[in-house]
Amino acid sequence: MTSEPKIPWYKTPLERQRLRKLNTKNDAEALNHLLMHMAFVFGTGAIALFSFRHFPWPLTVAALFIHGTFFNFLGMFTGVHELAHKTAFENKNLNEFFYFILGVLTWNYIHKFRAGHQAHHRA
């Protein structure tokens, strides 16, 4: 049996004060960021749907591309990922509520994802 290869991950040099400021949780900022992103996602979805009925197909494809790109960021890449780490909100109930909502919206099995992702960080 061979051991797993060591990957030389790049670690960005960052001063402790700057890192502490970046890691500070703020419910108002997190809620604002999430709601603005969700408004943009629902807005681009509405535009794509409207475009499907009223505009030529190339515009619909462009609208769907924009919508899909931003919708994807609600899922594993940012929204669900950060909420799984419990790093988005200071209030744990807000964190869990939006973790559930984004999990449903993006069809992610959030309980299994959190457990598997924590195991990934322990490895």
The model's pLDDT over 71-113, given as tens digits with 9 standing for 90+, comes to 888 776 788 888 998 889 999 999 999 999 998 988 888 888 8
Q: How many CB atoms lie under 10 A from the CB of residue 86? A: 14
State residue 49's pLDDT score. Answer: 95
How crowded is the C-beta side of 43, counted as CA atoms within 13 Å? 7
pLDDT of residue 30: 94
Token pair belonging to 11: 């670690």
- Please identify which residue in the block is written with the tokens 């984004």: 102
Going from the C-alpha of 111 to that of each of 4, 100, 108, the distances in angstroms are 27, 9, 9
Residue spans of the domains in the chain: they are: 26-122
0.95 surpassed by pTM: no
Are 103 and 76 contacting, i.e. CB atoms less than 8 angstroms apart? Answer: no
